[in-house]
Structure 1
Amino acid sequence: MEPSAADLRRPPKKARRTRIQDLSDDSLGMIFSFLDLTGVIRCSVVCSSWRKVIHRQYQQLQKNDPDDHGQISLPTRSFNEIAMLAHRVAFEDTPAKVFQWRGHSVGVNQCRMKMGHFLTGVGDKVMRLWSAESYKCLDEYVLPDKAPLIDFDFDESKVVGLVGTRICIWSRTETRSILSSRDALFPKGLCMRYVDPEAAIGCEDGKVRIFDLYSRKLTQIIKMHDAPVTCLSFSDDQLLFGGSSQGRSIALLDLSSGQQVSLLGSTYASVGIKTLCFNPGSNYLFAGSTAGHACCWDLRKQNRTLWEERVSPNVLYSMHHLRNDKSTLVIGGIDGVLRVVDQDSGEVIATHIMEESSSSRSASRPSDRNLTVRKAKKISSSDRIDLMSKACRPRITCLAVGMRKVVTTHNDNYIRVWKFK
């Protein structure tokens, strides 16, 4: 029995600020990862719940670090390194479960994750915000008219969506309101990325439109490709990367000057770029192609190609990593296989699909009634993926990575959260 509309939609009666008590253990771990050792020690004596989060991270490190000899002591490395080591080990060596439920009335193919929450949409007329811990719907954002939702992203205060030929902004912290661009300012948009206060829209005519979220006006129009711009990625210093599924080069634009900085090429054999991902910690730019190739450029070394690997026989739709993780990259595509790749070498270090059988989770709340759990199955490079049931590997249209977890959408009704212990 599927949940009613009231079960799925539970927006708060009044908007309120997020309290520290609302944060999950994984979210706290991410916050602590930005501190040095002294800061971590101070946080460990604030309260018992914070101490448990910190202690568990160190225990995980000691299990996998032979140099610690089982001693319970604070290591000299940073807490961020410890958290990222536990994150990699979870993907590589631990069992996983896949929690899945019908989150939308029609198929959805996009997801974004921030600090323990994730947003899903594109396919129907609503975006829904979920908890990665309880799988509850926390809020929803309805499209203002019949124009289709093409792409979206969100942060602590707002949701930004590319809706038809307009940018729409939903407030998360105030009384619900929708702001949109003043006019239809650009032709058909295919993708969008934003770093406050600017959103970049990749368009069918090969140009990128830069939109100011506060003035709600178009500020720049820059020619990026001769073919449609189908994927974009931002850096922290106003560099914009853009690729096209009909071209094998990636353009780098400097938004401060509006000029193209360089053009990154690869040895792909006449294939296009389907997805992009930039790591601000390592200055690595990753790209996935329509023929299953993954490629990495090191932007600190004159934009040199670091590695190129064909990780899948088919198109790669999505790739993502934790913002401060310099070790692992998660990739998904049309073959429905979740692959974990080493960022420095391109080596596939883990490959996962779902097992066929599933079990219903005991429902403690009405919203849990359609939640099922499936085990994740680790497969080897010698396994014949084409002989495996597609029910175990529905195509992954988009994925988002959290601490020891991955959210996937598949252009169907289901949302799936892969949790690695």
Structure 2
Amino acid sequence: MESSSRSVTRSAASHGGGKRGPVSSAPSSSIHSLSADLLGFCFSRLDPSELVRCAVVCKLWNKIIYSSTLMRDLYEKISLHGRSSSNLSVPVEASMKRYFEKLALEQHRLSFLGSSSEVHQWRGHSSRIDLCRLRRGLILSGAEDKVMRLWSAESCKCLKEYFNLNKDAMVDYDFDENKIVGLTGSQICIWTLVSGKGIFRSHEGIFSRGICMGYIDPEAVVGCDDGRAHVFDMYSGRCTRIIRMHGAPVSCLALTEDQLVLGGSNFGTVTVADLSTGEQLALLKSSFSNTGMKSLCFNSHSYLLYAGSTAGYVHCWDLRTQRSLWETRVSPNVIYSMRHLVTDSSTLAVGGLDGVLRILNQSTGEILSCFIMDPCTKLDGSSVSRSPLKIKMKGITIPADTEIHRIPRDRRPPITCLGVGLRKIVTAHNEKYLRLWRFHHSLDGIVNNS
């Protein structure tokens, strides 16, 4: 988000004329002081992925991006189907929005198929980092030191710290534009994202040891080691219901917007239950008896559920039919984390104990690319010498059938958690550092083949 804003600001400055106005004591450099026409001109110089990111900054930018004359001209210039040949019943603004979002998603998909990537690595905490999340250009990391830190995905700089005052370390968390919702071993805690102030803690002792957590306003769900899921109202603090999920610990959770709670177990099964009533609706099973579920990922656009297992399998079910679509063993070891871009139904990022970052086809389970670090290649040696806590290296692809055990462990430390953004992935490795993988692809190939 920051890079897009800086691009807009620089472009506006370069076309603002050479004359200076009268000196004023009030700040006059705010981007909000620019006219709609000038902002439209600046936006027309960005690529689709930057446009999509800028469109969610505020309502004004969204309106300018999808309604200005300059943007319509850009749309008709790069689209093979201009306004004259488009569906006249669809407003031009809506058509533009769909087109640019589709173009950005295609650019995102193709970037993962490249042969290399830039990897930024920096020391994020004084102790091991086991959790990370990526949302709207922001990275949230959590470690054993009971501190969560919010980072800019553009600059990798720390923006804010959040302190866990509980006796237990953070087990799981997630965040949105307003708040952070976290789980310790025995409590749900909430912090405001902007101020960092803790605004809620559930009473201790309400549930046994919590293992995993998910939330959709106004409810948070905790998966516990007794096989039950505890549902909390995040604003009253009350435990509103308890759902029996499994006869084994609930090892991973996912929630859907239509009030379903999905819980995986060490038995290799996933229970589907109604969040509002607690009724069990379905039991999804693996074909392999020696595997337990370690991670879940649900795609609300395709209605597909993905599960990563302790035996290195990734499983896919269609929740509409409750049928298994595919099962692929992508790793010889446990899969700790799986994520995809919210609006993307094509690629799935997978990481686990073997330390290989894999990109899968969501529809088929095919492995599209595999990435590891190339520690011999430092892209900016001068910055490394000045700041040993932050380095920039290269990620390289390896064939999907590579014998992983032959690759040195320092090139593939275990991926304990990952988050996916537009053309980027953040990974945690149960070490003191974070890694941000940046993927690139030329827009020209997309436009020419669209």
Same fold per TM (> 0.5)?
yes
1:156–1:362 Cα change, 3 Å: farther
The CA deviation at 1:93 is: 2.3
1:114 pairs with 2:132: no
1:258 pairs with 2:278: yes
Indicate the residue corresponding to 2:433 in structure 1. 414
Please tell me whether the aligned partners of residues 124 and 434 of structure 2 are also in contact (alpha carbons under 8 angstroms). yes
Count of matched residue pairs = 377
The CA deviation at 1:20 is: 8.2
Indicate the residue corresponding to 2:88 in structure 1. none
Q: 2:364 aligns with which of 331, 345, 370?
A: 345
1:310–1:159 Cα change, 3 Å: same
1:131, 1:47 → 2: CA distance? 32
Q: 1:334 aligns with which of 347, 353, 358?
A: 353
Indicate the residue corresponding to 2:25 in structure 1. none
1:99–1:47 Cα change, 3 Å: farther
1:55, 1:198 → 2: CA distance? 43
Unaligned stretches of 5+ residues in structure 1: 1-18, 34-38, 63-73
Q: Deviations over 1:140-195 (max 9, x none)?
A: 10111322211111111111111231111111235723421134311110111111
Please tell me whether the aligned partners of residues 122 and 151 of structure 1 are also in contact (alpha carbons under 8 angstroms). no
Indicate the residue corresponding to 1:29 in structure 2. 52
Indicate the residue corresponding to 1:133 in structure 2. 154
Indicate the residue corresponding to 2:65 in structure 1. 43
Indicate the residue corresponding to 1:314 in structure 2. 333
Identity of aligned residues (%): 44
1:75–1:119 Cα change, 3 Å: closer
TM-score normalised by the chain length of structure 2: 0.77
Indicate the residue corresponding to 2:268 in structure 1. 248
1:376 pairs with 2:399: no
Please tell me whether the aligned partners of residues 288 and 316 of structure 1 are also in contact (alpha carbons under 8 angstroms). yes
The CA deviation at 1:258 is: 1.4
Give 1:5-404 correspondences, 5 Å limit: 28-30=51-53, 32=55, 43=65, 78-93=99-114, 95-174=116-195, 176-244=197-265, 246-300=266-320, 302-359=321-378, 360=380, 370-404=389-423
2:324, 2:370 → 1: CA distance? 24
What SS is found at the alignment partner of 1:258?
Answer: coil
2:69, 2:311 → 1: CA distance? 51
Query: Highest CA radius of gyration, 1 or 2?
Result: 2
2:215, 2:133 → 1: CA distance? 12
Q: Deviations over 1:205-244 (max 9, x none)?
A: 0000001110011111111010011100011111110001
1:199–1:175 Cα change, 3 Å: closer
2:51, 2:148 → 1: CA distance? 26
Please tell me whether the aligned partners of residues 175 and 181 of structure 2 are also in contact (alpha carbons under 8 angstroms). yes
Structure 2 letter corresponding to 1:104: H
Runs of 4+ with deviation above 4 angstroms? 24-28, 30-33, 39-42, 44-48, 74-77, 360-364
2:234, 2:121 → 1: CA distance? 34
What SS is found at the alignment partner of 1:129?
Answer: strand
Please tell me whether the aligned partners of residues 115 and 397 of structure 2 are also in contact (alpha carbons under 8 angstroms). no
Structure 2 letter corresponding to 1:118: I
Q: Deviations over 1:348-368 (max 9, x none)?
A: 01111010225356559x9x6
The CA deviation at 1:340 is: 0.4
Unaligned stretches of 5+ residues in structure 2: 1-30, 34-45, 81-94, 441-450
1:369–1:303 Cα change, 3 Å: same
TM-score normalised by the chain length of structure 1: 0.82
1:392–1:369 Cα change, 3 Å: closer
Q: Deviations over 1:310-347 (max 9, x none)?
A: 11111111000011101000100100001000011000
Indicate the residue corresponding to 1:36 in structure 2. none
1:413–1:266 Cα change, 3 Å: same
The structure where helix makes up a greater share of residues is 2
The CA deviation at 1:124 is: 1.7
